[in-house]
Chain A
Amino acid sequence: MLNDIIKSLLAEVSGIQDIPLTGAFNIRSNGQSEGRNSTENIQIVPKENGSGIDIYIKPGTKDESVHIPALITEAGVHDLVYNDFHVGEGADVTIVAGCGIHNCGNEESLHEGIHRFFVGKDAKIKYIEKHIGEGDGNGKRIINPQTHIEAEENSYVEMDTVQLKGVDSTKRVSSAKLAAGATLVIKEKIMTHGDQYAETSFDVDLDGKGSSAKLISRSVARDSSRQLFRSKLAGNTECYGHSECDAIIMDDGVVAAEPEIIANNVEATLIHEAAIGKIAGDQLVKLMTLGLTEKEAEAQIINGFLK
């Protein structure tokens, strides 16, 4: 039985209300497994040394999903987990991960989830990752996710990652190596407030002919929070890469962007776009002419931006 706090976090992070009866899942709570289920096509196997799980998705698996949320509800927990996804050729699946921390104590709670994806030829995955923090204790809520992707020929990987509240510190490291014809799309949305710190680091190697990557980060830094966006796109053959960092700063928020694009081949096409600034005055004015107050206009603009 899950307690109410865990259920609430579970719903926020993964959209499920309780331990599901069917489907593939592994629910991790305070470093322990609360429930696990494999299906015919998706096998979840604990690693022998106890450090995490291996998820094996059979070739050709279609329209199935796997949920592996990690939840922390106790102060002072340092949870480190290694999860490896082995996605068979031609599979088409949705993977929902994410982490929620509810910390009411004075000691910090830390989750470090290190996920590796081995995506077979022609496979397609959508990876959804949501991070939240809550609880009124003084202990920090820290989430440091790592995502490492090896995408084989003509595979497609889409990663949607969202962190909108309550995480005091995060260092998000993502790397990918793309074979011929493989596509990677990462969409990141971050909002920080108070004294929070968020760091994003993308490192993508476009190794195969015709591979492509699109990395899109939208973020809002409020109060005195700080963010650092790093992206490194290396085009090693005929390929297409696009990274985009779009940030709104408010109050005393600080955002730094350090893009790096490296064309190691004359056929590589790489683009980086970065825009950091406060909410445009004419956007506020337009919404105020529709009858919104300045605060309401600001909220609408932010909601839309991070939608």
Chain B
Amino acid sequence: MLELKNICFSAEGKQILKDISLVIEDAKFIVITGPNGGGKSTLAKIIAGIEKPDSGQILLDGEDITNRGITERARAGISFAFQQPVRFKGVTVKDLITLASGKDLSTAAACDYLSEVGLCAKDYIDREVNASLSGGELKRIEIASVMARKTKLTLFDEPEAGIDLWSFQNLINVFEKMHDEIQASILIISHQERILNIADQVVVISGGQISQTGTKEEVLPGLFGIETGCRFFQGGAE
């Protein structure tokens, strides 16, 4: 269980997150949504240890991890799929998936993860994770790499961005499989209605605060019940 207590964060004199408190129960599917610039990505980075909160506490299974670094949190069971995947010259897709898995991985096992995200394994396994890959390909490799970690909590920052050629249903299947196979908690930042629809809990962050939280039945009508169809769906990166 991950517990955020009164998290505050500011950057360049601007308060980004204001007193965020949130509990992520084990094996739950949480979707965080809300307008761009509301602080969603920052919150994910704070959970992964990439940003450090000004105040507040983060507990993982009751243990205070607030002052732990990125590596320690990763080893404690937190994975993070970046919104904009990082490129590496010389590091191959297999290298990345092997590093993610934390053990020697056979080519066949690495290929299985690629197949899960809809990439033809033999075409990609030996390619470098560099600028020769499209944004959508990188995104899927990013998802495959966090799948290989099999951790108890995985954060996805806008996983749908750039995967338009691959069906949403496949992406959702990936999340559901992760959830079912390892009873993992999955926290997704998303604007996508279809992803919101599979959430056990929806959290709306706006202006650096949690403006609403509850089941999808409780929260979604308020989000999608207005004329534009989706109050927050504006696309683009945060």
B220 CB within 8 Å of chain A = no
Contact present for A290 and B95 (CB under 8 Å)? no
Count of chain B residues with Cβ under 8 Å from any Cβ of A? 25
Q: In whole angstroms, what is the CA distance A280 to B88 when docked? A: 9
Find chain A residues with CB under 8 A from B89 CB.
218, 246, 304-305
| In the complex, number of A-B residue pairs with CB atoms less than 8 Å apart | 59
Is the CB–CB distance between B88 and A304 below 8 Å? yes
Q: Is residue B80 within 8 Å, beta carbon to beta carbon, of the partner chain? A: yes
B74 touches A290 (CB 8 A): yes
B133 contacts partner chain A, Cβ-Cβ < 8 Å? no
Which among B50, B69, B85, B149 is the interface contact of A290 at CB below 8 angstroms? B149
Contact (Cβ within 8 A) B50 A285:
yes
Q: How far is the CA of A292 from the CA of B99 in the complex (A)?
A: 8
Q: Cβ of A292 and Cβ of B71 under 8 Å apart?
A: yes
How close is B102's CB to chain A, nearest CB, in angstroms? 6
Give the total of A residues in contact with B, Cβ under 8 Å: 22
In angstroms, Cα B82 to Cα A280, docked, is 15
Interface of chain B: mostly helix, strand, loop or mixed: mixed
Interface assignment of B65: CB less than 8 Å from any CB of chain A:
no
Q: Which of B89-106 contact A (CB under 8 A)?
A: 89-92, 95, 99-100, 102
Cβ-defined contact, B86 with A291, below 8 A: no
* Any A CB within 8 A of the CB of B48: yes
Report A279-307 CB contacts with B as 1/0, cut-off 8 Å. 01011011111111110000011011111
CB contact list, A138-181 vs B, under 8 A = none
Given A285-B50, A294-B71, verify A280-B86 contact (CB < 8 Å): yes
Docked Cα-Cα span, A282 to B48, in Å, equals 13
Min CB distance A60 to B, Å, is 33
For the A-B complex with A288-B69, A288-B71, A304-B95 known, give 8 more contacts whose Cβ atoms are closer than 8 Å. A288-B74, A289-B80, A290-B102, A291-B74, A291-B149, A300-B95, A300-B99, A305-B89
